[in-house]
Structure 1
Amino acid sequence: MSTVEPRRSEHRTVTRTARILELVSAHPGELRLADLSERLGAPRSSVHVLVRGLVSVGYLVEADGRYSIGYTLGELVRPSEMGLTEMLLPRLEAIRDATGETVTLGLFAGEFVVYTASAPSRHSVRYVPELRTRRPLLPTSIGKLLLATWPEERLRKYLQAHGSGDVEADLATVAVVRADDRAFNRGETLASVTAVARPCHVDGRRIGGVSVGGPSERVLPRLDEIDRTLAEVIGGNVESALAWR
């Protein structure tokens, strides 16, 4: 027991700290301690200890009882994909201009996908993704691209907990994604929206994907054409363009 419980506690602490930063980043200057405690489903006293520590190192700043991300965090914590969104945005816009539909960059965050950038369609009726919010891997097209990299034991366990209820059918779907190196979402998240996604790599590591999505009545008849455009613009040359380190 003495060797297991500390690890669980440490994992929970890391998870809560990460979620605090994510929540404050998504709602700068809005959330109080009570709000964070409620959204985390954690005791206020426990959240207060973590928040106080983040404030002490400058990762959070407090004003009138509400929290924002501190300038220190952006200056000292630099991700390995620093500048990824800025470097890829012209490509997202090029795909948008060629297809006419919304193009989204999604990065993997553990067993979730976070949409970090989007080039919105100029159509009045269009798909508008919510950015910087964790989404489950299924049924997103980008999430399926990550599942396709997992060994079967891990994949099967995940599908048993988070799949459609038919594990064998889900395994077959992921097998097709693995073989084709692309994934579709045909009305699985929103009944009227269809999307196709291709993976994005940096230094040989699959870090996320780029999807093109829109109203099914517009996208489905042009799905192969849209996928070809996506593959051409976001293909293998992206890795070399991003591997600047």
Structure 2
Amino acid sequence: MTESKTTGGVQSVERVFDLLNIITASGGESSLSELAAKSELPLPTIHRLLRTLVFLGYVRQLPNRSYALGPGLIRLGYTASLQLGAYAQPVLRRIVDQLGESANMAMLDGHMVVYVGQAQSSQSMRTFTEVGRRAHAHDTGVGKAILATLPESQVVSIVSSMGMPTPTKKSLGTMEDLLADLEKIRERGYAIDDEEQEVGVRCFSMALPEAPTPTAISVSGPVSRVDWDFGERAVPLLREAADELSAHFAQVG
């Protein structure tokens, strides 16, 4: 392969990812004119790249002739998320060994959070969250930790699109209450799910600032063991784990 062909191939890959990133930054949908303006690529080049992406299922054309992210990316994203969760497994296991309660890692996927990693406690009575499970962001520790890192307009968009179910009497049921809680989370640096998702379960959670997508880790268990003294021990360990994982993501990014 000649150098010119190699360069051209790399350039095509860069252009494909530029288009995907533009569509992503636009909320998952962009018109052809938006793609042309933001990518500064010739229209024939954009058409050629989009045809390939549509054929492969990574982009789809909508009835209004704009372009949206396609289902092919879901498989890639899900697998990548599980790989990140697998990398985090030793870190989560260390939290369990130090605190004796279950630890989780979750990411924002669309308008919900999805659990991508877990290390279980050996306690007979413990919390359990299946890897791959999706949950609302407003009533989970990981979800609130993630929401606290986002602009308010994005928080409103995410929560409004999914609604605010209240599975327990302690669940936050209004946007005003949620935004007030997110402000507290930003001030103290971690989130608390105080029986908001499940009665009898408390969770402490912290976001990972350098993750490739909004991500948080947490430790949770029965309120009889996961009390406020537990939280004082858990928060420094969560911060240490978050710093370690963030440093790794920054290196690979």
TM-score w.r.t. length of structure 2: 0.62
Question: Among residues 207, 210, 218, which one is paired with 2:225 in the alignment?
Answer: 218
Residue 228 of structure 1 and its aligned partner are, at CA, apart by 2.1
Residue 215 of structure 1 and its aligned partner are, at CA, apart by 0.5
AA paired with 2:94?
A
Question: Among residues 216, 219, 222, which one is paired with 1:209 in the alignment?
Answer: 216
Match of 1:6 in 2: 63
TM-score w.r.t. length of structure 1: 0.64
Match of 1:43 in 2: none
Cα displacement string for residues 46-71 of structure 1 (whole angstroms, at most 9, x for unaligned residues): xxxxxxxxxxxxxxxxxxxxxxxxxx
Match of 2:187 in 1: 179
Residue 143 to residue 126, structure 1, CA distance change in 2 (3 Å): same
AA paired with 1:186?
D
Match of 1:146 in 2: 146
Residue 88 to residue 185, structure 1, CA distance change in 2 (3 Å): same
Question: Among residues 176, 185, 188, which one is paired with 2:196 in the alignment?
Answer: 188
Residue 7 of structure 1 and its aligned partner are, at CA, apart by 4.7
Question: Among residues 226, 235, 239, which one is paired with 2:242 in the alignment?
Answer: 235
Identical counterparts, % of pairs: 25
Residue 200 to residue 157, structure 1, CA distance change in 2 (3 Å): closer
Q: Unaligned 5+ residue runs, structure 2?
A: 1-30, 32-60, 165-171
Match of 1:130 in 2: 130
Q: Which moved more, 1:221-230 or 1:178-187?
A: 221-230
AA paired with 1:14?
G
Residue 165 to residue 92, structure 1, CA distance change in 2 (3 Å): closer
Alpha carbons 1:201, 1:238 under 8 Å: kept: no
SS of equivalent to 2:204? strand
Residue 111 of structure 1 and its aligned partner are, at CA, apart by 1.4
Alpha carbons 1:200, 1:206 under 8 Å: kept: no
Q: 1-side partners of 2:238 and 2:90: how far apart?
A: 13
Q: 1-side partners of 2:197 and 2:65: how far apart?
A: 33
SS of equivalent to 1:209? strand
Residue 130 to residue 8, structure 1, CA distance change in 2 (3 Å): farther
Aligned residues: 184
AA paired with 1:219?
V
Residue 227 of structure 1 and its aligned partner are, at CA, apart by 1.8
Q: CA RMSD in A?
A: 3.1
Question: Among residues 168, 180, 183, which one is paired with 2:176 in the alignment?
Answer: 168
Alpha carbons 2:114, 2:134 under 8 Å: kept: yes
Q: Which moved more, 1:106-115 or 1:211-220?
A: 106-115
SS of equivalent to 1:155? helix
Q: 1-side partners of 2:106 and 2:149: how far apart?
A: 16
